[in-house]
Amino acid sequence: MGKIILEMKNITKEFPGVKALDNVNLQVEEGEIHALVGENGAGKSTLMNVLSGVYPYGTYSGDIIYNGEVCKFTKIKDSEEKGIVIIHQELALVPLMSIGENMFLGNEKGSKNHVDWNKTYQEADKYLKMVGLTDSSHTLIKDIGTGKQQLVEIAKALAKQARLLILDEPTSSLNEEDSKALLDLMLEFKKQGMTMIIITHKLNEVVYVADKITIIRDGSTVGGMDCKKDVIDEAHIIKGMVGREITDRFPKRHDVTVGDISLEVKDWSVEHPIYAGRKVVDHVNFNVKSGEVVGIYGLMGAGRTELSMSIFGQSYGANIKGKLFIKGREKVLKSPREAINEGLAYVTESRKVNGLILSNSIKINTTLANMKDVSTNNVIDADKEYAAAVEYKEKLRTKTPTVEQNVGNLSGGNMQKVLLAKWMFANPDILILDEPTRGIDVGAKYEIYCIINDLVKEGKSVVMISSELPEVIGMSDRIYVMNEGRFVAEMPSDQATQENIMAAIIQSGKGR
User: pLDDT tens across 431-481, in order?
Assistant: 999 988 877 777 778 888 999 999 999 999 999 999 888 889 999 999 999
CA angle 304, 490, 305 (to 5 degrees): 5
Three-state secondary structure call for residue 243: coil
Looking at residue 246, its pLDDT comes to 58
Give the pLDDT band (50/70/90) at residue 391.
very high
In terms of phi and psi (left: phi > 0; alpha: psi -120 to 50; beta: otherwise), the region of 255 is: left
Average pLDDT over residues 209-232: 85
DSSP notation for 37-94 = E--TTSSHHHHHHHHHTSS-TTSSEEEEEETTEEE--SSHHHHHHTTEEEE-SS----
Instruction: Give the separation between CA 61 and CA 55, rounded to whole angstroms.
Output: 11
Instruction: Give the separation between CA 56 and CA 91, rounded to whole angstroms.
Output: 22
Instruction: Give the separation between CA 359 and CA 289, rounded to whole angstroms.
Output: 37
Give the pLDDT band (50/70/90) at residue 512.
very low
Residues 269, 283: contact at Cβ < 8 Å?
A: yes
Give the pLDDT band (50/70/90) at residue 511.
very low
Looking at residue 243, its pLDDT comes to 65
* Sign of the C-alpha dihedral computed for residues 70, 72, 73 and 78 taken in this order: negative
Question: Does residue 70 carry a pLDDT above 90?
Answer: yes
Q: What Å distances lie between residue 493 and 211, 262, 407, 471, CA to CA?
A: 36, 20, 36, 11
Average pLDDT over residues 34-43: 83
For residue 347, list its beta bridge partners. 433
Q: What Å distances lie between residue 193 and 34, 129, 168, 185, CA to CA?
A: 13, 18, 20, 13
Instruction: Give the separation between CA 239 and CA 244, rounded to whole angstroms.
Output: 5
The per-residue pLDDT for range 406-424, each reduced to its tens digit, is: 998 887 788 888 999 999 9
Instruction: Give the separation between CA 102 and CA 104, rounded to whole angstroms.
Output: 6
Looking at residue 15, its pLDDT comes to 80
Looking at residue 245, its pLDDT comes to 57
For residue 490, list its beta bridge partners. 480
Angle between helices 412-425 and 382-395 (to 10 degrees): 120
Average pLDDT, the chain: 88
Looking at residue 158, its pLDDT comes to 87
Looking at residue 201, its pLDDT comes to 78
Question: Does residue 51 carry a pLDDT above 90?
Answer: yes
Q: Which of 174-183, 196-205, 242-251, 339-348 has the lowest mean pLDDT?
A: 242-251
Q: Which of 165-169, 251-255, 299-303, 405-409 has the lowest mean pLDDT?
A: 299-303
Instruction: Give the separation between CA 374 and CA 355, rounded to whole angstroms.
Output: 20
Question: Does residue 16 carry a pLDDT above 90?
Answer: no
Instruction: Give the separation between CA 432 and CA 5, rounded to whole angstroms.
Output: 46
Looking at residue 42, its pLDDT comes to 79
Three-state secondary structure call for residue 232: coil
CB neighbours (10 Å) of residue 417?
A: 28
The per-residue pLDDT for range 154-209, each reduced to its tens digit, is: 888 888 888 999 998 888 767 777 788 889 989 998 999 999 999 987 888 888 99
